[in-house]
């Protein structure tokens, strides 16, 4: 996705009364900011996860556009991508029409709506906001929860990352 297009979308969402009302009504605390916006990043993360997702059922919480789920679908047996923000599903429709495999399902709604309906071997979160909240709900879907960016930050030393991103990992929207 192009940076200019994302900037336009972010400025539209920020302070938009309907969006704020929607987030509040659905209890969405994560910031509506994408962390995986291109195939190169999605592929690199999927390969990083390969040893823990290969042949397994994966539940991605806060999947955004669904790019990471599509790439994990090339490795995992089954992938459920859960996203609560309707703006991302609308933007990604064309890609889903062209490339969505049968083993990847895109579920629109807050993750807690699907607890008890789906189960995985592994739950994945790939976010920079409301990490604690997303991790708690992810644990209800699978015995193993992977906080992708948390692992990467810890392994590479937090000082190598933008301090505002590291500090904002538990920030909530609004």
Residue 75 lies in a domain: yes
Element (H, E) at 145: strand 144-147
* Cβ 17 vs Cβ 167: under 8 Å: no
Which structural domain, as residue segments, surrounds residue 88? 35-170
Residue 30 lies in a domain: no
* pTM for the structure as a whole: 0.84
Residue 141 lies in a domain: yes
Residue 166 lies in a domain: yes
Question: Using CA atoms, how far apart are residues 78 and 14, in angstroms rounded to an integer?
Answer: 34
Say how many domains are in the chain.
Answer: 1
Query: Mean pLDDT over residues 83-104, rounded?
Result: 84
Element (H, E) at 58: strand 57-61
pLDDT at 140 over 60: yes
Instruction: Give the CATH number for residue 123.
Output: 3.40.50.150
Element (H, E) at 107: strand 104-108
Residue 4 lies in a domain: no
Residue 132 lies in a domain: yes
pLDDT tens figures, 25-52? 888 776 667 788 889 999 999 999 999 9
pLDDT-derived band at 21 (thresholds 50, 70, 90) equals confident
Residue 78 lies in a domain: yes
Would you state the structure tokens that stand for residue 47, as one six-digit string?
Answer: 């390969």
Task: Give the residue with greater pLDDT, 141 vs 152.
Answer: 141
Alpha helices in the chain (DSSP H): 3-13, 17-25, 39-53, 67-72, 86-99, 131-138, 148-156, 163-167
pLDDT tens figures, 57-82? 999 999 988 999 999 999 999 999 99
pLDDT-derived band at 157 (thresholds 50, 70, 90) equals low
Residue 151 lies in a domain: yes
* Cβ 149 vs Cβ 128: under 8 Å: yes
């Amino acid at each position: 996705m192009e940076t200019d297009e994302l900037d336009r979308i972010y400025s539209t969402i920020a302070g938009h009364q309907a969006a704020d009302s929607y987030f509040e009504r659905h209890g969405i605390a994560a910031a509506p900011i994408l962390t995986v916006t291109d195939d190169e990043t999605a592929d690199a993360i999927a390969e990083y996860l390969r040893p823990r997702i290969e042949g397994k059922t994966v539940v991605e919480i806060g999947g955004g556009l669904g790019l990471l789920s599509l790439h994990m679908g090339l490795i995992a047996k089954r992938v459920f991508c859960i996203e609560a923000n309707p703006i991302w599903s609308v933007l990604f429709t064309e890609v889903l029409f062209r490339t969505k495999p049968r083993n990847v399902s895109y579920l629109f709604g807050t993750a807690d709506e699907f607890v008890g309906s789906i189960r995985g071997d592994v739950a994945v979160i790939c976010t920079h906001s409301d990490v604690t909240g997303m991790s708690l709900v992810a644990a209800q879907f699978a015995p193993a929860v992977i906080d992708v960016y948390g692992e990467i930050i810890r392994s590479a030393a937090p000082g190598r990352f933008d301090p505002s991103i590291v500090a904002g990992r538990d920030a909530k929207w609004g």
